Amino acid sequence: MRAMNTKNTFTRALRAATLALSPLLALPAHAATPGITGGTGGPSGGPLFNLSAAQTRINQPNGQSVYAWGYGCSATPNGFAPAALAVPTGACPAAQLPGPTLIVTEGDVVTVVLTNNLPGAVGSTSILFPGMQVATTGGVTGLLTQEAPSAATCNLAVNAGCNTVTYTFTASSPGTHSYYSGTQGDLQIEMGLYGALIVLPKNPPAACSANLAAANLLAEAQSGEKDFRLSTAAYDNANTCYDREYLFQFSEMDQHIHTAAEDQVLADAAKAAGTQCTAVNGCLVVPTEPYVPNYFLVNGRSMPDDMDPNYAAQYPSQPYNGNPHMHPGELTLVRIIGQGRWQHPFHEHANHVRVLARDGNLILSDTTANAKLAGPLLFTTTTTPGMTMDGIFYWTGKGLNWDVFGHGPGIKNTVTGQVDVCIPDANGYYTSNPTAPNYYEWCGDHGKALEKNPHSTQIASGGPMTLPDPTIVLNGAWYSGSPYLGPDASVRAGGATPLPPYGTTANSPSTEAGYAYMWHSHNEREITTDNIFPGGMMMMMLVDPRAFAIDESN
C-alpha cells in the first residue's frame, strides 16, 4: 500500500455527483483497534497492566502544544494487539492521551498497578473501572476508590513504591468499556486521565467463522490482506459477528483549564526545596467553570491529525488515529466512548449504525436463549459522558440508484477478462464469488447508468447526471478522474486516452479507486479547532474495492 498523507488530500474534488461522496483519499497504513494485552503476569495468571499517570503535552493542528496529563506504561507492556500489528519502539509512552487501550478476555482476572508520577502539586490520582467489581490494595483512601498518592506526599525516597495502588477485577462482561480517574474528576479527566477497556468474548459464536464473516475473509485473502480483528464477534451472540473494527473516544478540552494547571504546577516546582506541595489532595486551585472547550478530539487528536497513522512520530503522546477503512459489504464494528463532559452527536455518513450494546449490555428483544438483537438504527451515535456504545456499520452502494462499478452491457472486466455479472443472493447482493472485483455489489443497480452522456464507450448512457469530460476539464491533481469504484474505474470514466492527471496521481487505475465519506460531529462547533473550520471531530471513512488491499499493520 502506498503511504500517503491524507491531510494533504483533504480538499480533493468530489468523486461523484452525490452529497454523500467526499474527496478521494489515499490512506496511510494504520491499525484498526491497537492496544496492549497485559500477558499472563497477574497474581492469578491473568493480564497485568503496569500503568503510570504523568504529565505530557499534546499537539494540535493549529501548531499549539497543550499541557496535559495522561495514563501510560510504567514498564514495557506484555503484549500488543491485534496480533498482526507491527508495533514501533516506544509505542506505549509514560503518558498518552487517551490512555493505553487495555484488551482482555471475558473471565480474565485483571490486575492494574497504577504509579502516580504526576507533579506533587497535583496530589493523588486513581482509576475507576465502571461496571466492574474492583478490589484494591495499597494507596490511600479516596472519595470513590483507593488512590495512588504523589511521591512528594508519601516520601518515595524513604518508602519505595508508596506512590502506587493496585486494582483487581474480573472482566465479567464483553464489550467496550471506559476507565478514568476517580479523583477530582472535573479536573483530572479534563486534563486527559481516561482510556478504553475492551473485553473480548470468551467463546465467540461458531457462526461468526462460518457465515458472512468467513466469506469476507476469503475475499480479503484474494488481495493478500491480514486479519486485524481482535475477535470474530463483539459479544457471545451470533448477531455480533464483524469483519473490521474501530475505536472512537470522543472528548473536548478547555485550553484555559490546562494553562492554569500548568502555571500552578510550574509555580510550585519553582519553590525552594521543603516548601513545595505535599498535601494528599494537591495544592492546585483550578477553576473548571465556566467550561468553554476550544479543542474537540477523536482518540486524542483533532482533524486532520486524526487521519495520520497510528503511532506517528509527530504525536508522541497521541498514538491513536481515527480513520475507518473498509470494503463493500464488510461488517464494521464501531466502538464508541464519550470521554468528556459534553454530549457528542457523531454522524457516520453513508449508512446508519445498528446499535448492538450500550455500556457492555446487549440490547435484546427478550431474555431467552434465542433472543434477537433489537438495537436501533442511529443517524447519529450520540454519546453522553462516560457512556460506551457498540454498533455495526457497513456500506454496499445500495440506495444510490446507479452502478457504482460503472458496468455496461456486454463489457469485459479488465482484471478477469470476463463479462461483468451480478448474480443476486437472497438479499440482493453478489456474494457467490468472493474473487470477483465487484464482490458484494448491490445487483438491483447493476448496469444502471450514472451519466446521461458518458465519455466512455464502456458504460451505459441515460443516467441522471451530466459530468464534465475529463479530457477537457481537469479537476486537479488529487481528483481520481472517475466517479466509479474498482479497477476499471478510470477506463470506464473517460475512455482509453485520458489526459493527465486523470488516474495518475492519487491512485493506481488498476487497483485503488474508492470513495470517501466524511464522519463528523453534528455539533457545528465541534468540527472546528480553536474556532477554525475544518477541524475537531472530523475524519474520512474510505471504501475501497476488493482489488485494493487494506493494510493496517503500521
User: What DSSP string runs through 194-222?
Assistant: EEEEEEE-SS--GGGGTSHHHHHHHHHHH
Could you tell me if residue 38 is left (phi over 0), alpha (psi between -120 and 50 degrees) or otherwise beta? left
The grid cell for 537 is 471531530
Q: Do domains 35-202 and 206-249+303-397+519-543 have the same CATH topology?
A: yes
Strands 65-73, 48-59: pairing is: antiparallel
Could you tell me how far CA 62 lies from the centroid of its own chain?
22
3-state secondary structure of 38: coil
Q: How many CA atoms lie within 13 A of 280 on its CB side?
A: 11
Q: How many CA atoms lie within 13 A of 536 on its CB side?
A: 27
Q: Which of 296, 248, 251 is nearest to 536 (CA)?
A: 296
The grid cell for 215 is 466469506
* Alpha-carbon gap, residue 427 to 211, rounded angstroms: 14
CB 121 within 8 A of CB 264: yes
pLDDT in tens, the chain (554 residues): 223 333 333 322 222 322 233 333 344 445 689 999 999 988 889 999 999 999 999 999 999 999 999 999 999 999 999 988 888 888 899 999 999 999 999 999 999 999 999 999 999 999 999 999 999 999 999 999 999 999 989 888 788 889 999 999 999 999 999 999 999 999 999 999 999 999 999 999 888 876 555 677 778 777 788 888 999 999 998 889 999 999 999 999 999 999 999 999 999 999 998 899 999 999 999 999 999 999 999 999 999 999 998 999 999 999 999 989 999 999 999 999 999 999 999 999 999 999 999 999 999 877 666 667 788 899 999 999 999 999 999 999 999 999 999 888 777 877 778 888 999 999 999 998 888 889 999 999 999 999 898 888 888 889 998 887 766 665 555 566 678 888 778 777 776 555 444 444 455 655 667 888 999 999 999 999 999 999 999 999 999 888 888 888 76
Residue 498 pLDDT: 52
What mean pLDDT is reported for the chain? Answer: 86
Phi, psi of 103 (to 5 degrees): -115, 115
* Alpha-carbon gap, residue 189 to 385, rounded angstroms: 11
Phi, psi of 189 (to 5 degrees): -70, -40
Residue 19 pLDDT: 27
List Cα–Cα distances, 413 to 403, 405, 406, 451, 510, in angstroms.
14, 10, 11, 19, 11
CB 116 within 8 A of CB 124: yes
Which residue matches cell numbers 456486454? Answer: 410
Topology (CATH level 3) of domain 35-202: Immunoglobulin-like (2.60.40)
Phi, psi of 128 (to 5 degrees): -105, 145
Which residues touch 527 (CB under 8 Å, ≥6 apart)? 296, 303, 520, 521, 533, 534, 535, 536, 537, 538
The grid cell for 248 is 472512537
Fill in the amino acid letter for 72. Answer: G
Residue 113 pLDDT: 97
CATH fit for domain 206-249+303-397+519-543, picks 2.60.40.420, 2.60.120.260, 1.10.10.60, 3.40.630.30: 2.60.40.420
* Alpha-carbon gap, residue 506 to 409, rounded angstroms: 29
> First vs last Cα of the chain: how many Å apart?
11
What is the pTM for the complete model shown?
A: 0.90
Q: Where do the domains of the chain lie?
A: 35-202, 206-249+303-397+519-543
Residue 476 pLDDT: 57
CB 29 within 8 A of CB 552: yes
